[in-house]
Amino acid sequence: MASNGYRLDSETSGNWLLRLAAPQAFFPVAGKMIPWFIALAVLFALPGLYVSFFVAPTDFQQGEAYRVIFLHVPAAWMSMFLYVIMACWAALGLILNTRLSGMMASAVAPTGAMFTFLALWSGALWGKPTWGTWWVWDARLTSELILLFLYFGFIALTNAIDDPRRADRAGAVLAIVGVVNIPIIYFSVKWWNTLHQGASVSLTRAPSMATTMLVGMLLMALAAWMYSIAAALWRVRSIILERERDAQWVRELRGVE
């Protein structure tokens, strides 16, 4: 197995976590977890949508237009969470030189990009009736757009380099540098005078919204989390097969099937 000359010697290690870090060991585990996370996503999304559309009351200022919030806020949260997770995997790959880390970073990126697009799209559709404009070059919106370009940059860069290990390292540098944009997005509404409103939910003070609205938003956010995990696990399985195509265990896997 020439392709994994510098991987951690996980076979001899007694540490189950390290053993799981071998793509070969993680492949079947990921496969078993996917249906559970899809089921959890549905389990959170159904009551989440129900609360969003049939329990949460009409907003006294925005009327029904505010119902975009149940999609917009979870999508925006996921866009930032997934970037940080992607950067953590990328950094782990740089530090420990584990093969699976780079694969995980690549597996998270497209889903992160999708949620970033959805946050921008739903934001535009919410902005038009409430602000009177689809788009404004305000700090929050602009930094979120930069996040989308960071995802695109990561995907394009890692796809452009043929050697997957080199692609992982180059992508990791980009992902880690780009992390600086996350606090900029988060604090943009405080640091600058933006059209975008401040945080509706914060860890330090009581939420400034009706409880049912908050419940709907949190259920939808949990659904988005579960969906993201399922999507990343599904994608990483394909990445493992693509990269380890010549490994003995993949050949055996195909032989059995």
Partner 1 sequence: MNWGGFGNFVHMGGYGFYVWGSYLVAAVCIAGELILLARRARLAERRQ
Gap between the Cα atoms of 8 and 30, Å rounded: 20
In the bound state with partner 1, the residue whose beta carbon lies nearer, of 88 and 125, is 125
Residues 6+ apart with CB under 8 A from 80: 147, 182, 185, 186
Compute the half-sphere exposure of residue 236: CA atoms within 13 Å on the CB side of its CA: 32
Q: Does 131 bind partner 1 (CB under 8 A)?
A: no
Gap between the Cα atoms of 135 and 141, Å rounded: 8
The single residue among 114, 147, 222, 226 that binds partner 1, judged by CB under 8 A, is 114
The single residue among 37, 44, 77, 126 that binds partner 1, judged by CB under 8 A, is 126
CB of 43 to partner 1, least distance (A): 16
Binding mask 200-239 for partner 1 (x = CB under 8 A): ---------------------------x---x--xx-xxx
CB of 222 to partner 1, least distance (A): 15
Q: Does 118 bind partner 1 (CB under 8 A)?
A: yes
Q: Does 254 bind partner 1 (CB under 8 A)?
A: yes
How many residues at the interface with partner 1, by CB under 8 A?
37
**Across the strands, what pairs with 59?**
63
Looking at residues 59 to 78 of the shown chain, list those that interact with partner 1 (rule: CB under 8 A). Answer: 63-65, 67-68, 71-72, 75
Q: Does 245 bind partner 1 (CB under 8 A)?
A: yes
Gap between the Cα atoms of 52 and 67, Å rounded: 7
Phi, psi dihedrals of residue 235, rounded to the nearest 5°: -65, -40
Chain-centre distance for alpha carbon 128: 27
User: Angle at CA 67, nearest 5°, toward 196 and 63?
Assistant: 85
Looking at residues 15 to 54 of the shown chain, list those that interact with partner 1 (rule: CB under 8 A). Answer: 53-54
Q: Residue 202 has which token pair?
A: 């914060």
Residues 6+ apart with CB under 8 A from 140: 185, 188, 189, 194, 196
The single residue among 7, 20, 91, 110 that binds partner 1, judged by CB under 8 A, is 110
Gap between the Cα atoms of 213 and 209, Å rounded: 7
Looking at residues 173 to 192 of the shown chain, list those that interact with partner 1 (rule: CB under 8 A). Answer: none
The single residue among 121, 131, 135, 192 that binds partner 1, judged by CB under 8 A, is 121
Q: Does 99 bind partner 1 (CB under 8 A)?
A: no
Residue 5 burial (CB count, 10 A): 7
- List residues near partner 1 by CB under 8 A: 53-58, 63-65, 67-68, 71-72, 75, 110-111, 114, 117-118, 121-122, 125-126, 128-129, 227, 231, 234-235, 237-239, 241-242, 245, 254, 257
